[in-house]
Structure 1
Amino acid sequence: MTTTQAPSTPAADSAPGLDARTLKVAAVVVLGAIMSILDTTVVAVAQNTFQQVFSTSAANAAWTATGYTLALAAVIPLSSWATARFGTKNVYMTSLVLFVIGSVLCAFAWNIGSLVAFRMLQGAGGGMLMPVGMMILTRAAGPERVGSIMAVLGIPMLLGPIAGPILGGVLIEYVSWHWIFLINVPIGILAILYSAWILPGDEEKSRPSFDFVGLLLLSPGLAVFLFGVSSSNEAGTFLAAKVLIPMAIGAVLIVAFITHALRGKKPLLDLRLFTNRTLSITIITFTFFLIAFFGASLLFPQYFIGVRGESTLMAGLLVAPQGIGAMITMPIAGRMTDKIGPGKFVLTGIVLIAIGLGAFMFLGSDTSYWLLGGALFVQGLGMGMSMMPMMSAALATLKAESVADGSTLVNVVQQTAASIGTAVISVILASNLKSLVPPTPSAAAGAFGDTFVVAVVLIAICLVPAFFLPRKKIAVASPDGEPAAPVMMH
């Protein structure tokens, strides 16, 4: 899969910081990321509302989230080919248009079936926003500054799970459920107009051969696998046939794609990128990190709402210290990663996350909010020091023509790991709660604490691969496209 890198400016080549042009491009991508990520979390707090408005079951209402996720998974693998064929600007703007149209249709849905269908259209647009946005940012900043630019993208990625419940609670409680979708319209129109003005449109396009076999294997494979994973929430176990069968079918299709991709000359997604040692180590670390992060993110609001009796809005506010902590360290970690490599930051960040999550292993029904807020703040500091440096490490050593495949690969991993983390933690929590006799608030808090132990263990596992991340400045690919020089470790 090949794409031609847009010409870089002298500022982009030499300046250690981010120049005005690069920041303007970053603003375009952040607008798209805000819409895509917020809509994933906002809908989560509207499930009860959908059940009441459309007189439907919890299982049917859950498809408003599941359908969106499956659509994301199906289109993400197309990102690399689409940008090579049509250009990043055209693909990005088309994705924005589809997302906005889907949002408008969702707001005017007349039953649960139409809402699910329109959510899938929305997901088809949103699926390419993040991978294509990462391509745009990486090319605008250049490999020498990928850490700094990824820190900009990381703000909506980390704040989405926190701001989503707050925004959703406010809109549903004080306006109407329609506005959790309509709010995307002005943001989307602004993003479309801004993209047309700011993004360069003179990049060369190629006519890469389209890997139909790869598409028929990977996109359905991811969607079916994640459908099985998502079904575990309703089933309460991973051992049910409705969970195991689609997971097995999806896994077979994914394995078949891996075999096909390693044999083919121009596969839909170039898995030979895993021969890049830094990329491979980063992806392993990133996978465990995301499973723990998204799993734990699910637990925080459920504890505050289910055990402490707080409103959705208040639960969102109580989780806000995590976002504050991340905003403090993320810009610093991004700039310093470009200078000294990601290893030291990621290791320190993971330790801070483990400390912050560790406090939640001892939850009670009356644990001080000051203590929990402090723990979330420490965890946020760790998030800001680890998440984006990992993404930077994954992309910094890639040659220009590999950025598209690398970005797509990172987003496939992100979507899959997030779904697995949410499902695993949900099933464990449901099992812990089901075993309570009697089901008192104190016992329920203990069940949450036991579930947080799993999240802490998953985060601790990240320390092993993270130990091998570069601890010096990453050597990037030279402008003429030659492979990067070996990275000195330790």
Structure 2
Amino acid sequence: MTQTPTASTEFDPALRKLVIVVVLGAIMTILDTTITSVAVNTLGAQFHTPLTTIQWVLTGYTLALSASIPLSGWVIVRFGPKTMWIVSLLLFITGSVLCGLAWNITALILFRLLQGFGAGMVMPIGQTMLARAAGPARMGRVMSAVAVPAMLAPVLGPTVGGLILGHLSWRWMFYINVPLCAIAVLAAIVLLPPDPVRDHDAELDLLGLALLSPGLGALVYGTAQAGSGTSLTDVRVAAAVLTGAALIGCYVLHALRKGDAALVDVRLLRDRNFAAVNAMMFLYIGTLSGLMALLPLNFQTVDGDTPLRSGAMVAPLGVGAIITTLLTGRLADKYSPRLLILAGLPVVLLGFLALTRPSTGDIPLLAILFVIGLGHGMIMPAAMGATYQSLRRTEIPSATTATNVGIRAGSSFGVAALLVLLQRNTGHSALDASTFTHTYWWALAIGAAALVPALLLPRRPVTRS
């Protein structure tokens, strides 16, 4: 076997700088998906607005974030990754400042849309820059670094939000982004190399954008409404989910005809490795997202916990994930991603199985979530690295966009599926522990289905020039 050159396996200074830049930029945009979750009551009292309207502060950010993801592949090719990385962060900073200055709830919701639009492109652009710079031999380590901010969100978001509300004005939940993201912008200007040659002739697939962004947004909106307690038979939920699924289906047909000129090239799914890892992540992320929607609901309705405490109860999952993420990155560069994914999935499923047992108190539950986190941290860096394993450099922007769209769609699917099953198990009675336990069995079954595409991953790394 030919030994890979040292230069391609070690972290050189340029790659270290790139990792620092991406982590600095990503951490606050991800944190903002959860930091405001504890402020619903505070904002309702501040603006004398019902909670159904205040929920749009959370939902609007998520919708705008989802809608901007499909644009990321095209803007990278057309304007360059460094330029668009800085532009995305500046949009996020501008939205944050305006949110802090908001004079009424309408203004706050509109500014959250701007903030979310910038945030949606940050992670795909960052992943593209890392994948291009790292190459196959270092992919696991760089992807584990960028995965850490995602693991921190459920741990730090509600906690930081609660601390700010306890000691400062709610406006500081948004102002806190400004100095940290300003450092990220300055780091990008100083540390990132100039953009490569841009394709000034790259045309934007307007029809694809008109189908995919609203479709993804509608899907996310429908599941967000269901997650906030709206009945699944409500027209807002059913119409949004069905419309979103139909628009995404129409986009797939359009993209197959348009080929590599499509907003996201779905023909990448013909690559066995890319298709298998994305199918695995669709099912796995869907199950985990559904579980993250069920657990706080379980804690609040059955145990009587406050929203802040129910959010803090999930923190061990993030802690466990961070521990193994930091270890898995290096292993993913030495061993097959398939091996690590198939090692992590049973750990997660073991945690799911433990959730189906009668509750024995907080300590065992925290231990179960910690174990799930350990498995999660083994899976994600390996899966993110495997995504690019067999792709050409020119395919990376579209592949990154496709993967992020798939993760969003999978998350929406998982939340909707488990909430449908929860309501079906409930019938006309109130939610109780047995209802949640039965639904956790379904989470276990859907999560176990992710083993099938994981087994289809190549046993050895496959690379293309």
TM-score range, shorter chain: over 0.9
- Deviation of residue 19 (structure 1)? 2.8
Cα distance in structure 2, aligned partners of 1:457 and 1:123: 33
What's 1:331 paired with?
A: 326
Q: Does residue 449 in structure 1 map to residue 442 in structure 2?
A: no
What's 1:383 paired with?
A: 376
Q: Does residue 283 in structure 1 map to residue 278 in structure 2?
A: yes
Cα distance in structure 2, aligned partners of 1:339 and 1:234: 43
What's 2:157 paired with?
A: 164
1:138 alignment partner AA: A
What's 2:464 paired with?
A: 477
Cα distance in structure 2, aligned partners of 1:12 and 1:161: 39
- 1:106-255 aligned at under 5 Å gives the runs 106-207=99-200, 208-233=202-227, 236-255=230-249
Please identify, of 312-321 and 110-119, the stretch whose mean Cα deviation from structure 2 is larger. 312-321
- Deviation of residue 420 (structure 1)? 3.1
Q: Does residue 58 in structure 1 map to residue 51 in structure 2?
A: yes
- Deviation of residue 214 (structure 1)? 1.6
Secondary structure of the 2:98 match is helix
Cα distance in structure 2, aligned partners of 1:231 and 1:376: 25
TM-score between the two structures when normalised by the length of structure 2 = 0.92
Summarize the Cα distance change of 1:307–1:172 in structure 2 as closer, same or farther, 3 Å threshold: farther
Secondary structure of the 1:77 match is helix
Q: Does residue 466 in structure 1 map to residue 454 in structure 2?
A: yes
Cα distance in structure 2, aligned partners of 1:325 and 1:184: 26
- Deviation of residue 298 (structure 1)? 2.7
Cα distance in structure 2, aligned partners of 1:433 and 1:343: 38
Summarize the Cα distance change of 1:225–1:327 in structure 2 as closer, same or farther, 3 Å threshold: closer
Cα distance in structure 1, aligned partners of 2:17 and 2:416: 37
Summarize the Cα distance change of 1:17–1:434 in structure 2 as closer, same or farther, 3 Å threshold: farther
- Deviation of residue 183 (structure 1)? 1.2
**1:416 alignment partner, one of 409, 418, 433:** 409
Summarize the Cα distance change of 1:363–1:54 in structure 2 as closer, same or farther, 3 Å threshold: farther
Cα distance in structure 2, aligned partners of 1:420 and 1:171: 33
Cα distance per residue 1:219-243 (max 9 Å; x no partner): 2222233333333345744333322
Summarize the Cα distance change of 1:297–1:224 in structure 2 as closer, same or farther, 3 Å threshold: closer
- Deviation of residue 313 (structure 1)? 4.8
State percent identity of aligned pairs.
39
Summarize the Cα distance change of 1:421–1:112 in structure 2 as closer, same or farther, 3 Å threshold: farther
2:453 alignment partner AA: P
Summarize the Cα distance change of 1:423–1:105 in structure 2 as closer, same or farther, 3 Å threshold: farther
2:455 alignment partner AA: F
Cα distance in structure 2, aligned partners of 1:411 and 1:292: 16
1:82 alignment partner AA: V
Summarize the Cα distance change of 1:64–1:424 in structure 2 as closer, same or farther, 3 Å threshold: farther
2:206 alignment partner AA: F
What's 1:353 paired with?
A: 348
Q: Does residue 374 in structure 1 map to residue 367 in structure 2?
A: yes
Cα distance per residue 1:294-322 (max 9 Å; x no partner): 12123334444444444555444443332
Asked if the contact 2:89–2:181 (Cα under 8 Å) also holds between the matched residues in 1, the reply is yes
- Deviation of residue 100 (structure 1)? 0.7
Please identify, of 134-143 and 171-180, the stretch whose mean Cα deviation from structure 2 is larger. 171-180
Cα distance in structure 1, aligned partners of 2:308 and 2:246: 42
Summarize the Cα distance change of 1:388–1:427 in structure 2 as closer, same or farther, 3 Å threshold: same
2:126 alignment partner AA: G
Cα distance in structure 1, aligned partners of 2:50 and 2:417: 23
Summarize the Cα distance change of 1:15–1:331 in structure 2 as closer, same or farther, 3 Å threshold: farther
Asked if the contact 2:82–2:195 (Cα under 8 Å) also holds between the matched residues in 1, the reply is no
Cα distance in structure 2, aligned partners of 1:339 and 1:427: 41
Summarize the Cα distance change of 1:313–1:67 in structure 2 as closer, same or farther, 3 Å threshold: closer
Please identify, of 11-20 and 84-93, the stretch whose mean Cα deviation from structure 2 is larger. 11-20
Gaps of 5+ in 2: none
Cα distance per residue 1:347-382 (max 9 Å; x no partner): 121110111122222243xx2322122212211110
Asked if the contact 2:154–2:315 (Cα under 8 Å) also holds between the matched residues in 1, the reply is no
Asked if the contact 1:17–1:148 (Cα under 8 Å) also holds between the matched residues in 2, the reply is no
Gaps of 5+ in 1: 1-10, 479-490
Asked if the contact 2:155–2:316 (Cα under 8 Å) also holds between the matched residues in 1, the reply is no
Cα distance per residue 1:26-72 (max 9 Å; x no partner): 11111222112111111222222222222222221111122112212
**1:343 alignment partner, one of 338, 343, 348:** 338
Please identify, of 213-222 and 130-139, the stretch whose mean Cα deviation from structure 2 is larger. 213-222
Cα distance in structure 2, aligned partners of 1:131 and 1:12: 28
Asked if the contact 1:325–1:378 (Cα under 8 Å) also holds between the matched residues in 2, the reply is yes
- Deviation of residue 431 (structure 1)? 5.9
**1:274 alignment partner, one of 250, 269, 273:** 269
What's 1:486 paired with?
A: none
Cα distance in structure 2, aligned partners of 1:301 and 1:31: 29
CA RMSD, 1 decimal: 2.2
Cα distance in structure 1, aligned partners of 2:74 and 2:144: 26
- Deviation of residue 396 (structure 1)? 1.8
Cα distance per residue 1:148-179 (max 9 Å; x no partner): 11111111112212221221222222323212
TM-score between the two structures when normalised by the length of structure 1 = 0.88
Summarize the Cα distance change of 1:25–1:192 in structure 2 as closer, same or farther, 3 Å threshold: same
Cα distance in structure 1, aligned partners of 2:109 and 2:5: 43
Cα distance per residue 1:456-489 (max 9 Å; x no partner): 22211111111112232x12223xxxxxxxxxxx
Asked if the contact 2:223–2:415 (Cα under 8 Å) also holds between the matched residues in 1, the reply is no
1:338 alignment partner AA: D
- Deviation of residue 13 (structure 1)? 7.3
Secondary structure of the 2:356 match is helix
Summarize the Cα distance change of 1:379–1:246 in structure 2 as closer, same or farther, 3 Å threshold: closer
What's 1:487 paired with?
A: none
Secondary structure of the 1:18 match is coil
Asked if the contact 1:233–1:427 (Cα under 8 Å) also holds between the matched residues in 2, the reply is no
Q: Does residue 263 in structure 1 map to residue 257 in structure 2?
A: yes
Cα distance per residue 1:256-307 (max 9 Å; x no partner): 2212211114111111111110000111110011111112123334444444
- Deviation of residue 20 (structure 1)? 3.1
